[in-house]
């Protein structure tokens, strides 16, 4: 089949493809706010109609939350599943937007034209790159190049509460050879990348309680145990002087980076000074015997995300608080067991507390890391396709964040996830004035067409 004809069709159809994306962006499909439930339904209906127009047998499937969009089309070759999400983040603070977040537009910037609006990058723009590649392929050849399943979610931005039950209930229908996920980006906004390592996530909230009421610090200071003092000792002990996490057994299951991947990462010439300088910092604070990219992508972390207690209002109130609180998260890699780490962390905290303090814990999720082996020939085929489109050698990279869907494809469906996206570092995901570069949209469509040709 002629790839050149498909690429030419993509170039010619770009204005119409952009208009379709703008139509989808106008739908305020905010999944976290019940006030936008009907809008999430509208976005799902829009996608059902669009996919059906391509000959994809598509349905809106109900869940206890927002609907799933599932579509199928038969064809030769491998069975590919494409996953994306049509829901978007809330727009607050609205006063920091230059324009209505749901009145998307094309804007000229110093770096080139961008699509401005909520969801333009996360994830409607990314989602539509794949659909538009399929549209061009169908227009040129009359059919799509392989068996395809489309799986589009409406709750990703609100924790995906319906996702796992739905996947478990429809596992036979959703199983595929490869699960393509378009919710990532270019490395340093210029190098195409396939994400092969995703960190897991464990969240813990601690409440340390001492006296039964707040105490006058003049009467009780010195003799009474202050819960903030006790909690601060725990927090200070979570890392040693070299940046290593001290929770017992924490590094069980943490693998060393393969030599080939390490060499590829070194070739990326990551400028950590610029990376930190952009946010007003200068010195890497993680494990001191690791490179900056290892710290971000392939090493586990422990971070304090919030800590509070006592009087925090205006002025001064001299009290010993009754309780102190902290939120602590762990990013996990390899085969680290989040439940074992939770147990070890809680035991460490209990052992460190003085006798007059008690502790309670609230968990905030626990998901394991996800790793994809790149020895499957499909990965090298896709990497070469990306390199040809962007005229830059594509790389296998890690991701400091957590995308649980990748692990679900492996554990529930037995499908191999392949994460490819075209976002840029300055897309302002989840923030006011979110954008998606026209270059990312255009070359993203062309990239998927090349990948479809390479995989089929």
d(CA 384, CA 401): 25
**CATH architecture assignment, domain 200-254+300-367:** 2-Layer Sandwich (3.30)
**Contact partners, residue 141, CB within 8 Å, separation at least 6:** 1, 6
Beta bridge partners of 114: 107, 437
68-73 and 147-153 strand pairing: antiparallel
Domain covering 3-198+370-455 assigned CATH 1.10.10.10 in the classification? no
* Omega within 30 of 0 (cis) for the link into 93: yes
**Encoding tokens for residue 15?**
């204005």
The pLDDT value recorded for residue 330 is 97
Burial class, 177, CB count within 10 angstroms (exposed 0-12 / middle 13-18 / buried 19+)? middle
- Tokens encoding 244: 């290593």
Looking only at the bridges linking them, the beta strands covering 193-198 and 395-399 are: parallel
Which among 373, 368, 288 is positioned nearest to 332, based on CA atoms?
Answer: 368
The backbone torsions φ and ψ at residue 191, rounded to the nearest 5 degrees and listed phi first, read -105, 120
The pLDDT of residue 375: 85
Cα(413)–Cα(73) distance, integer angstroms? 19
Half-sphere exposure of 399 (CA within 13 A, CB side): 27
Under 8 Å between Cβ of 197 and 369: yes
Rounded CA separation 413/173 (Å): 9
Query: What residue spans define the domains of the chain?
Result: 3-198+370-455, 200-254+300-367
On whether the CB atoms of residues 348 and 247 are closer than 8 A, the answer is yes
46 is written with which tokens? 């829009």
How many Cα neighbours within 13 Å face the side chain of 95? 0
Q: What is the pLDDT of residue 401?
A: 80
pTM: 0.86
pLDDT computed for residue 367 by the predictor: 87
pLDDT at residue 1, as a whole number:
57
Question: Is residue 208 within 8 Å of residue 448, measured between CB atoms?
Answer: no
Q: How far out from the chain centre does Cα 206 lie? A: 25
Assign 3-class secondary structure to the chain: CCHHHHHHHHHHHHHHHHHHHHHHHCCCCECCCHHHHHHHHHHHHHHHHHHHHCCCEEEEECCCCCCEEEEEECCCCCEEEEEEECCECCCCCHHHCCCCCCCCEEEEECCEEEEECCCCCCCHHHHHHHHHHHHHHHHHHCCCCCEEEEEEECCHHHCCCCHHHHHHHCHHHHCCCEEEECCCECECCCECEEEEEECEEEEEEEEEECCCCCEEHHHHCCCCCCHHHHHHHHHHCCECCCCCECCCCCCCCCCCCCHHHHHHHHHCCCCHHHHHHCCCCCCCCCCCCCCHHHHHHCCCEEEEEEEEECCCCCCCCCEECCEEEEEEEEEECCCCCHHHHHHHHHHHHHHHCCCCCEEEEEEEEEECCEECCCCCHHHHHHHHHHHHHHCCCCEEEEECCCCHHHHHHHHHHCCEEEEECCECCCCCCCCCCCEEEHHHHHHHHHHHHHHHHHHC
Count Cβ neighbours within 10 Å for each residue of 237-262 and write b for 16 or more, e otherwise: ebbeeebbbebeebeebeeebeeebe
Show the tokens assigned to 259: 């030599």
- As a whole number of angstroms, the distance between CA 178 and CA 231 comes to 46
> Is the CB of residue 148 less than 8 Å from the CB of residue 73?
yes
Residue-by-residue pLDDT tens, the chain, 456 positions:
589 999 999 999 999 999 999 999 999 999 999 999 999 999 999 999 999 999 999 999 999 999 999 999 999 989 999 999 999 999 999 999 999 999 999 999 999 999 999 999 999 999 999 999 999 999 999 999 999 999 999 999 998 999 999 999 999 999 999 999 999 999 999 999 999 999 999 999 999 999 999 999 999 999 999 999 999 999 999 999 999 999 999 999 999 998 988 998 999 989 999 999 988 999 999 999 999 999 999 999 999 999 999 999 999 999 999 999 999 999 999 999 999 999 999 999 999 999 999 999 999 989 889 888 888 999 999 999 999 999 999 999 998 887 889 989 999 999 999 999 999 999 999 999 999 999 999 999 999 999 999 999
Q: Report d(CA 26, CA 7) in Å as an integer.
A: 27
What does the pLDDT read at residue 400?
83
d(CA 333, CA 331): 7
- Angle, CA 352 vertex, CA 349 and CA 356 arms, to 5°: 105
Which residue from 119, 151, 153, 154 is spatially nearest to 31, judged by alpha carbons? Answer: 154
Do 316 and 349 form a contact (C-beta atoms < 8 A)?
no
């Amino acid at each position: 089949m002629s790839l050149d004809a498909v690429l030419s069709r993509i170039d010619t159809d770009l204005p119409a493809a952009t208009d379709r994306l703008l139509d989808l962006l106008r739908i305020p499909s905010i999944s976290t706010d019940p006030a936008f439930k009907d809008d999430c339904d509208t976005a799902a209906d829009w996608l059902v109609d669009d996919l059906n127009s391509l000959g994809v047998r598509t349905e809106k499937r109900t869940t206890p939350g927002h609907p799933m969009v599932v579509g199928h089309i038969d064809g030769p070759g491998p069975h590919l599943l494409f996953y994306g999400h049509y829901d978007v983040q809330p727009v607050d603070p609205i006063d920091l937007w230059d324009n209505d977040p749901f009145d998307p537009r094309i804007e000229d910037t110093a770096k080139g034209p961008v699509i401005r609006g909520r969801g333009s990058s996360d994830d409607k723009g990314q989602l539509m790159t794949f659909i538009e590649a399929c549209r061009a392929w169908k227009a040129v050849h009359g059919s799509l190049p392989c068996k395809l399943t489309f799986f589009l979610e409406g709750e990703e931005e609100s924790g995906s509460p319906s996702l796992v039950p739905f996947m478990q209930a429809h596992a036979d229908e959703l199983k595929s050879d490869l699960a393509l996920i378009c919710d990532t980006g270019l490395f340093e906004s210029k190098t195409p990348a396939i994400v092969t390592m995703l960190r897991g996530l464990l969240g813990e909230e601690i409440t340390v309680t001492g006296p039964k009421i707040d105490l006058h610090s003049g009467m009780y200071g010195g003799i009474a145990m202050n819960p903030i003092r006790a909690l601060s000792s725990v927090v200070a002990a979570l890392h040693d002087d070299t940046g290593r996490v001290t929770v017992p057994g924490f590094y069980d299951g943490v693998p060393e980076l393969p030599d080939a991947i390490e060499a590829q990462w070194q070739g990326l010439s990551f400028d950590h000074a610029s990376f930190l300088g952009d946010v007003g910092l200068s010195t890497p604070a993680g494990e001191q015997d690791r490179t900056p990219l290892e710290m971000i992508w392939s090493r586990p972390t422990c971070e304090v995300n919030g800590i509070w207690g006592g009087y925090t209002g205006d002025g001064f109130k001299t009290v010993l608080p009754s309780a102190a609180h902290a939120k602590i998260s762990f990013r996990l890699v390899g085969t680290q067991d989040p439940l074992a780490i939770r147990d070890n962390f809680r035991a460490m905290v209990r052992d460190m507390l003085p006798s007059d303090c008690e502790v309670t814990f609230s968990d905030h999720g626990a998901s394991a890391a996800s790793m994809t082996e790149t020895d499957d020939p499909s990965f090298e085929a896709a990497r070469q396709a990306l390199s040809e489109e962007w005229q830059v050698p594509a790389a296998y990279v890690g991701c400091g964040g957590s995308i649980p869907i990748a692990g679900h494809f492996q554990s529930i469906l037995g499908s191999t996830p392949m994460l490819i996206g075209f976002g840029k570092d300055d897309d302002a995901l989840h923030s006011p004035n979110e954008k998606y570069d026209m270059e990312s949209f255009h070359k993203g469509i062309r990239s998927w067409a090349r990948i479809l040709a390479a995989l089929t």
